Amino acid sequence: MTMEVKVGDRLPSLRKTPDRETLVKYAAGGGDFNPLHFDADFPQVKQIGNNIVHGRLKYAAMGECVSNWLAHRGWIRSISAQYKGMDMVGATFTCQGEVVTVSEEPSQSGEPATVVTVKIWTEGADGAQTTNGEAAVVLTR
């Protein structure tokens, strides 16, 4: 069954509250061992006030938000992100999304494919957007 999608549809929100352990695990998995992300005693962390969440972790969370919305009714063709602000360890950030275009284009099988562009972002508890991005998804029929 084809997923019904229209411009303006909102994706279900996804909330994340990464703790220091999560950031250490992400550093190990992603290879980003910058002490800004996990060392509370690092001088720059003391200046900032806390450790900051990896940008790529927020990028992955936005992908999870889109994937959850698709619920196996399509696939992500592309996804991008621009980091605009910091999210701190222990603070909740929320992934959001909104459909901005829906179009039909030919597929390899000759059948038309529904392609959806989704504006995605993360925002902190204060509502400030800290990461902006876009995903293109192809819906299955």
The three-state (H, E, C) secondary structure of 53-114, written as one string = CCHHHHHHHHHHHHHHHHCCCEEEEEEEEEECCCCECCCCEEEEEEEEEEEEEECCCCCEEE
**Mean pLDDT along residues 31-58:** 93
> What is the rounded (10 degree) CA torsion for 31, 36, 40, 45?
180
- Residue 61 within any structural domain of the chain: yes
**Mean pLDDT along residues 1-6:** 81
- Residue 94 within any structural domain of the chain: yes
- Residue 36 within any structural domain of the chain: no
The CATH number assigned to the domain holding 107 equals: 3.10.129.10
Q: Considering only 9-13, 37-41, 60-64, 118-122, which range has the smallest mean pLDDT?
A: 37-41
Whether the predicted pLDDT of 3 surpasses 90: no
Give me the domain span that covers residue 105: 14-18+53-139
Per-residue pLDDT at 24: 94
- Residue 99 within any structural domain of the chain: yes
CB atoms within 10 A of CB 137: 23
- Residue 90 within any structural domain of the chain: yes
Whether the predicted pLDDT of 2 surpasses 90: no
- Residue 8 within any structural domain of the chain: no
What token pair was written down for 7?
Answer: 């411009």
Whether the predicted pLDDT of 70 surpasses 60: yes
- Residue 131 within any structural domain of the chain: yes
Report field, pTM of the whole predicted structure over 0.85 = yes
Domain total in the chain: 1
